[in-house]
Chains A and B, each alone.
Chain A
């Protein structure tokens, strides 16, 4: 009798353990599709795959790889935004002569025990503005530059009338409308892996394209550079709503408003920030795909052993910025080890499988060994055997 009870207790514990780790809160569970429900088809011309005006996770991931963003405005003002290792931003504003105009910082660390973003603008005059971020605004380097420029043009922190949130920007109460994007003359995105893109504003006059149509009007010209050498170009014709890109040896093509009609048109208003990230995305994703190969064409069917191992270790290959599974260390010196490991994985197309399938890639093994060595050395970059870790 006791043996039966003991066995029953074991079964209950195992079921409870499996149920516990796969359990999701009710709100999430309700979102799951119910079986038997009719499939809702999207008609042609209906927007799919994106929420208009809202950026997606891919866009934010691409943005997160930007190390420095330099914006030059028509009035000679330059805004340089940089990302710190702690995830915070700082924008330095300077005038045409190079003189300091102001500094704007975005501190995303927890404030007063909460998770508010704290914004700080300090003008050259010494006046400062402290404010909490708006819940609907997700700060990016481009946003920080735009916000800093806008605050300086609104008269800085000394505005007696106070400030208000307008279209995602802090504005002086009563200030007139301003389209900062139109005042942007050039935007330079410095990305990871020695890549950078510089977009400048221009105009096209009867530019012949495809022997069929001529392109006119406002033009954004984006040049992709790797290690100081131009490797590609992308052009956005705002009036014609045409995007043309050419990265020799990697990808070339075009997208027109007519082609986008199937998807309900362009789901957002393309600007210089988007063009820079899009050009980087063309290069990054195409080269990554070429390096790893088409999954269907080159990957052999998984062996039975592999299938069993996949069941035991979920094949998650997603790579989050920072220390995956150890994000409480993101603000510490160990973040360096994680970033180096992430870049190594990205460069050689590794995944978490490379830890236990060590025979599959020696380069991935080196990435992993480097990470262990770095962690063991406390993030000093010299490993555990250096006599002077700091």
Chain B
């Protein structure tokens, strides 16, 4: 059930989101603390958007496996999130932070996967 491409796409989407946030943290995201997607509402929206797109991409590749690929993308995003959090500094609430991040990753990539599946069905009919 492991789809490595989907895992990598999910991880890459989260890493790209983090890189962009690090670059323009003050100007785009109005960040007051360290660059981290859960430290700014705008960064949360930006990361969710990228993960939805990632979910849609992996889902569109094979619509019969949409949910499996979406779940794999979520796992990849979550793995990247945990690695980045460990590197930037976990903070004193880090398990709760990871739980929040996991909910966001699963919801976003799941929504993206559903959107990709829906698009595929619409185009087919």
Contact = CB atoms under 8 A, between A and B. Distances in A.
Interface of A: 13, 16-17, 20-25, 110, 114-115, 312-314, 316-320, 323-329, 338, 341-342, 345, 350-352, 355, 368, 371-372, 375
Given A326-B97, A327-B38, A345 B18 contact: no
Interface string B15-46: 10011001100000010110010111101100
| Residue of B19, B92, B93 with most chain A CB atoms under a 10 A cut-off | B92
A288 to B, nearest CB: 15
Interface of B: 8, 11, 15, 18-19, 22-23, 30, 32-33, 36, 38-41, 43-44, 80, 83-97, 100
B83 A316 contact: no
A351 B91 CA distance: 9
The 10 closest A-B pairs by CB, nearest first: A324-B91, A316-B89, A325-B91, A325-B97, A327-B39, A21-B87, A328-B41, A352-B92, A21-B84, A115-B30
Contacts of A338: 93
Contacts of B38: 325-329
Contacts of B43: 328
B15 to A, nearest CB: 5
Given A20-B15, A324-B92, 13 more contacts: A17-B83, A21-B15, A314-B86, A317-B92, A324-B91, A324-B97, A325-B39, A326-B39, A326-B93, A341-B92, A355-B94, A371-B93, A375-B96
A345 B92 CA distance: 9
A372 B98 CA distance: 12
Nearest to A20: B15
A355 B43 CA distance: 26
Nearest to B26: A115
A318 B88 CA distance: 12
A20 B92 contact: no
Contacts of A326: 38-39, 93, 96-97, 100
B81 to A, nearest CB: 11
Given A23-B19, A325-B94, A375-B96, A318 B89 contact: yes
A15 B8 CA distance: 14
28 contacts: A16-B15, A17-B15, A21-B15, A21-B18, A24-B22, A25-B22, A110-B30, A314-B86, A314-B88, A314-B89, A318-B89, A324-B91, A324-B92, A324-B97, A325-B36, A326-B39, A326-B96, A326-B97, A326-B100, A327-B32, A327-B33, A327-B38, A327-B39, A328-B38, A352-B90, A352-B92, A355-B94, A371-B96
Contacts of B23: 25
Contacts, number: 91
Contacts of A375: 96
Contacts of A325: 36, 38-39, 85, 90-91, 93-94, 97
A328 B44 contact: yes
Contacts of A350: 92
| Residue of A13, A327, A329, A352 with most chain B CB atoms under a 10 A cut-off | A327
A348 to B, nearest CB: 12
A371 B87 CA distance: 23
Contacts of A25: 22-23
A355 B91 contact: no
A292 B33 CA distance: 27
Contact of A320 (B33, B86, B97): B33
B96 A372 contact: yes
A316 B95 contact: no
Contacts of B85: 325
Contact of A20 (B19, B32, B41, B95): B19
Contacts of A319: 92
B104 to A, nearest CB: 11
B92 to A, nearest CB: 5
Contact of A316 (B8, B32, B91): B91
A323 B96 CA distance: 10
A313 B43 CA distance: 24
Given A115-B30, A371-B96, A328 B84 contact: no
Nearest to B88: A21
Nearest to A320: B33
A371 B96 CA distance: 9
B90 A20 contact: no
B69 to A, nearest CB: 18
Nearest to A311: B86
Nearest to A326: B38
